[in-house]
Amino acid sequence: MRRTFRRRPDVPEGDTIFRTARTLQRAIGGQEITRFETMLPRLARVEIDLRVTGRSVEWVEPRGKWLLMHFSGGLILLTHLQMNGSWHIYRPGERWKRRRSDMRILIGTPKMLAVAFSVQIAEFHSAASVERRKGLAALGPALLDERFDEEEAVRRLRRMAGTEIGDALLSQSALAGIGNIFKSETCFTSRVNPFCPVACLSDADLLRIIRNARQLLLANAAPAEAAGAVTYFGVRRTTGRADPAQELWVYQRRGEPCRRCGTPIEARKQGAGARTTFWCPLCQPAAAKPAAAR
């Protein structure tokens, strides 16, 4: 029996965090915080001891899958959306799209409310402590950073010689921003079998994979004027096709025909995290060397 994978809308990856940071910056950047609420005791303690209200939002910064909100006075709110978290932007009095019980953080300014829902990782830091934070300190080059260093990304992937390339792409210490969707889509567009060990790939192969990943992320981080001032809306596309039924090449398409050759897409668990990988067995053959990019 063929297993059906239910599609999930816009699981947070680097493009989601980039768009979220950009929208938060536009909505509350430079404004004074007049309201701060949280369901997280450690954050509430900071409001009591150091006061968040009265500070201003200086800038909002994306780093891979992490989001840093910098407040005046050197206070930084660090959040990670993981699988189910999201930041929303609302005008005062506007109805929320999620339940009040899912709210974890609320930052209010005279004009807008920024609300974090279902965020499990949320911490206040100083500029010094945030750079020591496990997971953030070891981040590899961020694919959406203007200063992205592709040679450093190749070097970091090369250190994972025995790791399958699909699993290596999920390592945020190699390059930051790729999640499970872009892992499968990048391997497909690069004509690389996701189960091929890094050691079997040349530097030219790795560079092609990295550039394809960056191109996909950049395309999905581009401004969407129709979305307005929201962080939770957005359509992710890798095919470049406008048809909503043809947005992705392989992700969550097990058993469906490949959009290039018609071969049924396959899927199986990969790596220690047992994340499901999707690929076309004809376009991405299992071989020591990947097929040449089309």
13 is catalytic: yes
Half-sphere exposure of 90 (CA within 13 A, CB side): 16
Give the start-end residues of each E strand in the chain.
35-38, 57-63, 66-71, 76-80, 86-90, 103-108, 113-117, 121-125, 266-270, 275-279
> Which position among 26, 155, 275, 285 bears the catalytic label?
275
How far, in whole angstroms, is CA 197 from its chain's centroid?
24
Residue 77 is given by DSSP the state E
Is 65 in the active site? yes
CB-CB contact of 117 with 107 (8 Å): no
DSSP 211-255: HHHHHHHHHHHS--GGG-S-SS-----SS----GGGS-SSTT-TT
197 is catalytic: no
Say which amino acid occupies 120: Q
* Alpha-carbon span 227 to 230, nearest angstrom: 7
| Residue from 12, 141, 194, 290 carrying the catalytic annotation | 12
Catalytic residue of the set 13, 19, 62, 237: 13
Residues 6+ apart with CB under 8 A from 171: 140, 160, 163
- 185 as an active site residue: the answer is no
One of 19, 55, 65, 183 is an active-site residue; which one? 65
Active site residues: 12-13, 65, 275
